[in-house]
Amino acid sequence: MPILITNNHSRDIAGLRYIYPVLSRRAGGLSIGINFNTNNACNWRCVYCQVPDLKIGAAPEMDFQLLEEELRFFLESVLHGDFYSRFQVAEAQRVIKDIAISGNGEPTSLKAFAKAVELIGRVATELGVFPNSRYVLITNGSSIHQAKVQAGLKILKAYGGEVWFKLDSATEQGRMLINNVRQSSQAQLKNLLLATQCCPTKLQICLLDYDNQGLPEKERIAFLNLLTIIKAKASLQHIMLYTIARPSLQPEASRLAPLSIAVLHEFADEISLLGFEVSVSA
């Protein structure tokens, strides 16, 4: 039986299609992941991605009956069964910190996204997980301009949930380098503002050392400028800074290294001066 550790986020560890448990650094305990992208397809290709055989595409059709059956089975195992002992979870971590819609690609690409958000919220509430645990959507934010996604975010809010919006670079060149996507700064900011209007939103920023360059000065300044704009326009208070902790499965893997904890904390201090709450995970 495998042991849950923070540097293993295998989607197959529980033997289920949609549900997987992780010990999350950012959540600070047991996070129950929901993987909509079982086909390993995403509309971005981040250089630090640990998904094997990643391909460009969208989430496949959802088997909603199976999703509900797996979620009920798994939550019952955690709440009333032997899950913690089987996976050798330490006593201090035997609490569900969140249910997180995340996985092997961009979850908002699911056609019936809002229906899936509602199903998860309904089952978790019925079994007593919500509102005591968080309900989280981890997203690159690229599809938030779509009506179906905004409908899902509003349902997420109704269940007390929150959006964790990916922001790995504040420049178009940086997003092309890190995320392999040609997203304009205007589109990125517009989608972020839409997210904050639909549901409470936090920024998650992954900073890494690419080709031994550390945190480039151009990126640092661009981040601070962008965050100043966000502070003035959006009801967003919290930023999560982190760096890579697990090996990438992308071609650029050998060029990547974790950013030092000292640099993360120095940057966090600068962001704090703008009026944000900042958490750091290394």
What secondary structure, in 3-state letters, does 79-92 show? Answer: HHCCHHHHCCCCHH
The domain locations on the chain are: 19-281
Mean pLDDT (whole number) for 16-32: 81
Q: Which of 50, 52, 23, 27 is nearest to 40 (CA)?
A: 52
CATH 3.80.10.10 describes domain 19-281: no
pTM, two decimal places: 0.92
- Residue 29's pLDDT is what? 77
Whether residue 279 has pLDDT greater than 70: yes
> What string of DSSP letters covers 189-251?
HHHHHHHHHHS-EEEEEE-EEETT--S-HHHHHHHHHHHHHHHHHS---EEEEE---S---ST
pLDDT tens digits, 77-129: 999 999 988 888 888 888 899 999 998 999 999 999 999 999 999 999 999 99
| Contact status, residue 178 vs residue 46, Cβ threshold 8 Å | yes
- Is 188 a residue whose pLDDT tops 70? yes
Query: CA 254 → CA 1, 182, 244, distances in Å?
Result: 31, 23, 13
Angle at 69 between CA 95 and CA 3, to 5 degrees: 40
Q: pLDDT tens digit string along 51-67?
A: 999 999 999 999 999 99
235-268 pLDDT, tens digit each: 999 999 999 988 999 999 999 999 999 999 999 9
The per-residue pLDDT for 223 is: 97
Q: Where are the alpha helices (DSSP H) in 127-171?
A: 147-158
Which residue type sits at 238?
H
Stated as kind and residue range, the H or E segment containing 277 is: strand 277-281
Counting DSSP H helices and E strands in the chain, the numbers are 8, 12
Q: Is the pLDDT of residue 6 over 50?
A: no
Pick from 193, 207, 199, 198: which is nearest to 243 by CA? 207
